[in-house]
């Protein structure tokens, strides 16, 4: 169980870092238009990754 918790913590950390980098790129290049769709996709991907780690 402890290993899975560490994996989840690492996944959350990577997700947060990736999200910040993607948001910066989006704002720099696309403005607000692509922001909503990208946030939805990132959330969906994170949910799938979390399910894989916790199953």
Q: What is the pLDDT of residues 13-48, one digit of tens each?
A: 888 888 778 777 777 776 666 666 777 777 787 777
* pLDDT of res. 30: 61
Q: How many domains in the chain?
A: 1
Angle at 38 between CA 55 and CA 28, to 5 degrees: 135
Alpha helix positions (H), the chain: 2-29, 35-54
Q: Per mean pLDDT, which range of 3-7, 45-49, 51-55 is the poorest?
A: 51-55
Both tokens assigned to 48? 């799938």
For residue 48, give its domain range: 2-54
pTM of model > 0.85 = no
Which tokens sit at 26? 């989006």
Long-range contact set of residues 11-16: C-beta below 8 Å, sequence gap at least 24: 11/46, 11/49, 11/50, 11/53, 12/50, 15/42, 15/46, 15/49
């Amino acid at each position: 169980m402890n290993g899975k918790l560490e994996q989840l913590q690492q996944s959350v950390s990577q997700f947060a870092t990736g999200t910040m980098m993607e948001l910066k790129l989006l704002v720099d290049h696309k403005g607000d238009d692509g922001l909503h769709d990208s946030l939805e996709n990132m959330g969906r991907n994170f949910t799938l990754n979390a399910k894989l780690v916790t199953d």
